[in-house]
Amino acid sequence: MEQRSVKVLQLSAQETAALRAGVNLIHKNVGNFIIYKDPTTPEDPYKACRNVCRHQRGLFVKDIEDAACNVVRCTKHNWKLDTSTMKYVNPPDSFTQELLFPEVDDEGRLTLVELNPPEPWERDPRPPQRIEPGEVKVTFFAHACMEVKLGDKTMFFDPWLTGPAFARGWWLQHEPPADWLERLSRADLIYISHEHSDHLSYPTLELLSKKNPNIPIYVGDTSVPVFCRLKQSGVKLNCINICKFGVWQDINADTRFMILMDGVHPEFDTCILIDYKGRSVARRSTEGFTGQQDSQLRMNWSNSLSHLFTSEEWKERFMANDRKNLLFHKKEVVREVNPKVYCPFAGFFLEAHPADKYILNNNPKNKPEQLAAFINRHLDSVMTWTPKPGSTVDLALALGDPADRRLAIVDPPPETKLYKDTWDFDFYIDKINESIDNEIFAYPDWIPFYYEWIGFKNYDLVLRMIETDDYFQPVEGGYDFLVDFMDLSFPSQRPTRKHAYLEIKNRIGVHRQTVLHGLFWDDLYLGFQNRLSRDPDTFHFKFWNHVQILLSLQPPDWEGFLSRQRRLHSASGKLPRAVWKPPRSKPTVNRLLGVLVQAKALLVPATMALLAILAYNVL
């Protein structure tokens, strides 16, 4: 198969001549495009791309603040693209836009050409066969976890079915079917898309490994290995298969699948395509969908806000507009694919811990019913499926007679418990907080040792890291320090030079667990375990990409560090840090005091002390 050239836009000679120097935003029925014209290079004056932001497919506009330059701004999250280079300048040092190829014919007409490489799934095609009712069923379990029945074989996707994700930040919204562990352990194979803990759940896999440690698990050959922390987790799984991208994996004569590199995060995320009897069932983790070729069953995740803002009014407007934009974007995705059945998924989590009440109240997500109604209002040919734990869709019925399509969806019995109301917070949070007491934190030299292990430097960013309690208040024994990544120094004050500044307040338990085990910073950044402020308000992609993706897979040598520190302090008579961990108090007392802080109760100190004493004595 050869690469295909597709003409995606053609301008008339008059339209081409009317293009002005600099940025041209072109809106046509065939799509939206950006054309940059450089009159100083008449032999090759044009650069062009589709007008789609790489972040969340927002539309670029020309902003008044950038009117004098060649920068356009995304209307969704303010990402900025320099059209003269087709590189993103916000976030800096990040992405390059995919180019279209301009061609000008003898009559002066400009054509934009898109080069499409051959699709790997087009190799070795199989003729489609008839699928009978009951032969292919998809069952929703929770969040992004689906069970797919394909004849006599069963697959599971991304089983997060117990415990938290992103340290202690996300908790399951739905109550999975009561027999989830039995069904998961009996599956023929499991596919896990990537290493984020709402898709690769070690608490789930720990229970699975006790019942069936030999179950085949398939992952893609990503540059960040999906199971890069398996040894640290202590979970025993004996049949992990790493698949090359774009290669069919045969299950039996009727069923095969192919793992593909994700288009947005190719370094760590993947997609899967399942071929059953010549019909393709796709599940993509970035857009979040499962589908049947020409009649896709698409899935999609809800929106979540990755950082907080100081202005409540601005924040509310931003989030309302963001949710509205996301609804529109997902509707357009569905329009392009033209599926028979559509189902939102992979956004079913809650910031359920009482200490995260602020996030829960201020991070509203699009409800699946909203999205379904929005799609039905604009695309009446699409049947929507709002998933409930244990509900199924039968693809043969969904693809059959339109009069019978509603029979394709079967909801669980009315008495089924759908939503979780308990999460065993203390069990999981106590495990996280075990890191607080580790001896390495008695020696302040852990800071340069750890950041030298991180290996990020020669970048003009000053980081202030502050350890806090659950409510982001200073904590006794917590560290508060600066890191200057320009020269990887650790000053006591911010440098006098002009510099970018990032301040992070981290919950002490999650922070120390991340440091101690050399984890990626996803638990800090994605799980709402911190509060961020930055000056200027620029997302430092290069820094976050490093700490979320590029860290060494070999944890810091803390045993060697402790051995050296003990010898050093013994020889010098120097004592470790006097207070390096907060005093432990009863969890219920902490929760009571936390509630008072959250409620912003105006209590005089004596009253606060009295309440604490009474609570301690009673509890």
Give me the CATH number covering residue 56.
Answer: 2.102.10.10
Q: What is the pLDDT of residue 303?
A: 32
How confident is the model over 542-598, as pLDDT tens digits?
999 999 999 999 999 999 999 999 999 988 888 788 888 888 655 544 555 455 544
Whether 487 is covered by a domain: the verdict is: yes
Cβ atoms of 92 and 541 closer than 8 Å: yes
Q: What is the pLDDT of residue 311?
A: 55
Prediction pTM value? 0.84
Give me the CATH number covering residue 154.
Answer: 3.60.15.10
- Same structural domain for residues 168 and 247? yes
Domain assignment of residue 606, given as a range = 587-618
Cβ atoms of 337 and 291 closer than 8 Å: yes
Q: What is the pLDDT of residue 611?
A: 38
Q: How far apart are CA 413 and CA 557, in angstroms?
A: 53
Q: What is the pLDDT of residue 3?
A: 65
Q: How far apart are CA 502 and CA 520, in angstroms?
A: 18
Two structure tokens written together for 253:
């004569």
B/e letters for 525-542, b = 16+ CB within 10 Å, e = fewer, are: bbbbbbeeebeeeebbbb
How far from 532 is each of 362, 433, 529, CA to CA, in Å? Answer: 16, 22, 10
Whether 368 is covered by a domain: the verdict is: no
Q: What is the pLDDT of residue 507?
A: 96
- Same structural domain for residues 108 and 62? yes
Strand order in the sheet with 189-191: 240-243, 217-220, 189-191, 153-157, 145-150, 136-142, 392-394, 409-410
610-612-617 Cα angle (round to 5): 95
Whether 369 is covered by a domain: the verdict is: no
- Same structural domain for residues 162 and 287? yes
Q: What is the pLDDT of residue 574?
A: 80
Q: What is the pLDDT of residue 585?
A: 57
Q: How far apart are CA 8 and CA 111, in angstroms?
A: 8
- Same structural domain for residues 173 and 184? yes
Final residue in a domain of this structure, among 90, 118, 146: 118
How confident is the model over 166-184, as pLDDT tens digits?
999 999 999 999 999 999 9
- Same structural domain for residues 74 and 153? no
- Same structural domain for residues 193 and 214? yes
In the chain, the number of structural domains is: 4
Final residue in a domain of this structure, among 69, 94, 118: 118
- Same structural domain for residues 149 and 138? yes
Final residue in a domain of this structure, among 100, 118, 136: 118
Whether 435 is covered by a domain: the verdict is: yes
Average pLDDT per block of 10 residues along the chain, 619 residues long: 82 97 95 96 95 88 81 90 95 91 96 88 89 94 95 96 96 97 98 96 98 98 94 96 96 95 84 90 47 34 35 66 75 78 85 93 82 87 89 89 82 95 96 96 97 97 97 95 98 97 97 97 88 91 94 96 94 83 63 49 42 39
Whether 371 is covered by a domain: the verdict is: no
- Same structural domain for residues 113 and 128? no
Q: Give Cβ neighbours of residue 148 (< 8 Å, ≥ 6 apart).
A: 136, 137, 138, 139, 154, 155, 156, 157, 274, 281, 290
Q: What is the pLDDT of residue 338?
A: 79
559-428-169 Cα angle (round to 5): 100
- Same structural domain for residues 81 and 155? no
Q: What is the pLDDT of residue 520?
A: 96
Whether 180 is covered by a domain: the verdict is: yes
Two structure tokens written together for 458:
């020669």
- Same structural domain for residues 46 and 133? no
- Same structural domain for residues 92 and 184? no
In the block, tokens 């003269």 appear at 84
- Same structural domain for residues 566 and 457? yes
How far from 335 is each of 298, 340, 373, 380, 381, CA to CA, in Å? Answer: 11, 11, 14, 11, 10
Q: What is the pLDDT of residue 305?
A: 32
